[in-house]
Amino acid sequence: MIKNQSHATLTAGDGNRAVALLLDVVLLVFLASIVAGPAESFRRYVLPGLCLVYFAGMPLTPLQGTLGKWVCRIKICDHQGQRLRWRASLLRTTATIAWFSLPLLFGMLTVVSASVKQTLMETWWLLFLVPWMPMGFTACHESVFDLLAGTRVVGYRADPERIASAETTEKRRLLNGIILVVGCLLIGYILSATIRVMNEKSLHGRIAYAIGETLPLRKTIESFHDAENRWPTSEEIGMPAWTPYPDGGSYRLQENGSVVIRFSVLPEFKGHSITFVPQLTEGGMIAWQCHADPGMEKRYLPSSCR
């Protein structure tokens, strides 16, 4: 009687596992906001440590899983339906955190360019759900992390006897697995495209902000030229050699009236510059010609600077 029980009554549904993970992420973000310290040290040490303690420790408690899994009425156990030992829980958690930490590793790489880092990030988001794809083909819905640690995610009321006696030779339908794989890749594609669009929008905004910071200086140059019929020097208009702006760069006035913006923080732009050159029109007006150095990627520039 026990052996004929369906795996559907034992193993946790894919949707329940996804909702449980989302709830856990929300909880950790809330906890992180409470204990947040200096941004860099928090990102590198505190947050991973908090995740390790939470995800590795909670399966060892009577709940046999995280609070998110408890809310969704599922739990983690070994193949015998018993509470996890610390080694299995630590292995499962470490593998999971390592996968989620790859973007941080990409950000710390110093031997590749910013564009390569961005490509790596977009690829990671595309493949974000790959570790969960085996759930579509394994009888007990195991993810890569479950297969590594020898664990199962089951219904909260599934008893050890039923779990241990479950038929391990049963296979999930091939169509179910294919649907899950296609769904995971589709979600990954949407996430990857969203990250790319958001990143490009952010970089566009940073350049637009830098250009906007030079508007008062260019207005001053125009007024000085109208009055003196020549380009001013920095000293004549009270400008320092370089004027920093809050978004991570600085700008200066050159002898020919040009305004140079130098980027010094963002890795995509660091070491590059944009120059606005004043040109007198036939009507005596001043038109600003924008030129970016060859190292600046054109897709991030406004159309007037390409």
pLDDT at 153: 92
What pLDDT was estimated at residue 9? 55
Specify the pLDDT at position 274: 94
Q: Are residues 12 and 146 in the same domain?
A: yes
Question: Within this chain, do residues 36 and 168 fall inside the same structural domain, yes or no?
Answer: yes
Out of 27-41, 178-192, 233-247, pick the least confident.
27-41
Note whether 240 and 146 are same-domain residues. no
Answer whether residue 58 is part of any domain: yes
**Does residue 37 have a pLDDT over 80?**
no
How many of the other CB atoms lie within 10 Å of CB of 213? 18
- Cβ neighbours of 38 (radius 10 Å): 9
Q: pLDDT by residue (tens digit) across 154-169? A: 988 888 887 777 655 4
Q: Are 43 and 105 in contact (CB under 8 A)?
A: no
| pTM > 0.75: yes or no | no
Strand, helix or coil for residue 252: strand
- Is residue 81 in some structural domain? yes
**Do 30 and 104 lie in a common domain?**
yes
7-11, 123-127, 206-210, 229-233: segment of lowest average pLDDT: 7-11
Question: Is-contact 277 287, C-beta < 8 A?
Answer: no
SS3 of residue 30 by DSSP: helix
* pLDDT at position 4 over 70: no
231/192 Cα distance (integer angstroms)? 48
Using DSSP's 3-state secondary structure scheme, residue 289 falls into strand
pLDDT digits (tens, 9 = 90+) for 82-129: 999 999 999 999 999 999 888 888 877 877 777 788 889 999 999 999
Q: What residues are paired with 78 via a beta bridge?
A: 151
The answer to the question of residue 276 being in a domain is: yes
225: Cβ contacts below 8 Å, ≥ 6 apart? 231, 232, 257, 278, 286
Beta bridge partners of 249: 245, 263
CA distances from 277 to 266, 286, 292 (A): 24, 10, 11
CATH number where 242 lies: 3.30.700.10
Is residue 144 predicted with pLDDT exceeding 80? yes
Of 29-38, 90-99, 260-269, the poorest mean pLDDT is in 29-38
pLDDT-based confidence at residue 1 (cuts at 50, 70, 90): very low
Q: Which domain, by its residues, includes 245?
A: 213-305
Residues 151, 236, single domain; the answer is no
Total domains, the chain: 2
